[in-house]
Chains A and B, each alone.
Chain A
Amino acid sequence: MATVDAPAPQASGKARLSASWREALWCYTFLSPWLLGFLVFTAGPIVAVFYLGFTRYNVFKAPQWVGLENYVGIFTDDRLFTITLLNTIYFVVISVPGQLLIAFTLAMFLNTRIHGRGAYRTLFYLPMIVPHAAASVIFLWLLHAELGVVKHLLDVFGIPSPLWFQDENWSKPGIILLSFWYVGQTMVIMLAGLQNIPTHLYEAASIDGANVLRRMWHVTIPMLSPTTFFLLVIGLVTHFQVFTFAYIMTRGGPLNSTLFYVLYLYRYAFKNFEMGYASAMATVLFVLVLAVTGITFGTSRHWVHYET
Chain B
Amino acid sequence: MSDRVAVIATHVRRGLFQSAPGVGRHAAIHFVLLIVAFIFALPFLWMASTSLKEATQVESFPPVYIPSPVVWENYVEALTFLPFHQYFFNTTLISALVIVGDVLSASFVAYGFARLRAPGRNFLFIVMISTMIVPLAVRLLPTFLLFKWMNWVNTFLPLIVPAFFGTPYFIFFVRQFYRTIPQELSDAARVDGASEFRIWWQIMVPLSRPVLIAIGIFAFANVWNDFLYPLVFLTDRTKWTISIALSAMIDATGEDIQFWNLMMAAAFASVAPMVVVFGFAQRYFTQGVTLTGIKG
Contact = CB atoms under 8 A, between A and B. Distances in A.
A270 B221 CA distance: 26
B21 A112 contact: yes
Given A113-B17, A147-B257, A293 B43 contact: no
19 contacts: A3-B191, A26-B112, A29-B196, A30-B113, A37-B165, A40-B165, A44-B146, A112-B29, A129-B275, A131-B225, A131-B271, A133-B270, A134-B267, A138-B47, A192-B290, A195-B11, A262-B137, A282-B140, A289-B133
Chain B contact patch, size range: 35 or more
A187 to B, nearest CB: 9
B46 A113 contact: no
Interface string A89-133: 000000000000000001001111111100011111111111111
Given A48-B145, A146-B61, A192-B294, A113 B165 contact: no
A25 B197 CA distance: 12
B263 to A, nearest CB: 6
A140 B112 contact: no
Given A34-B171, A38-B128, A122 B109 contact: no
Given A27-B121, A127-B40, A142-B42, 8 more contacts: A24-B118, A28-B112, A37-B165, A45-B141, A109-B33, A114-B26, A137-B264, A147-B60
B162 A37 contact: yes
B289 A188 contact: yes
Contacts of B112: 26-31
Contacts of A112: 17-19, 21, 29
A212 to B, nearest CB: 9
A113 B277 CA distance: 28
Contact of B133 (A33, A116, A293): A293
Contacts of A234: 132
A80 interface: no
A166 interface: no
B141 A269 contact: yes
Contacts of A3: 187, 191
A209 B199 CA distance: 55
B176 interface: no
B41 A137 contact: no
Contacts of A241: 135-137
Given A129-B271, A134-B246, A243-B227, A199 B196 contact: no
B139 A141 contact: no
B276 to A, nearest CB: 10
Contact of B124 (A35, A149, A306): A35
Interface stretch (A9-17, A66-74, A225-233): A225-233
A46 B136 CA distance: 11
B116 A285 contact: no
A188 B293 contact: yes
Interface string B252-296: 001001001001101100110011011000100110011011111
B18 A128 contact: no
Contacts of A23: 116-118, 196
Contact of A49 (B59, B118, B141, B221): B141
B148 interface: yes
A40 B147 CA distance: 11
Chain B CB within 10 Å, residue with most, of A28, A52, A181: A28
Contacts of A261: 137
Contacts of A134: 243, 246, 267, 270-271
A124 B36 contact: yes
A283 interface: yes
B289 A192 contact: yes
Interface in B36-64: 36-37, 40-44, 46-47, 50, 58-63
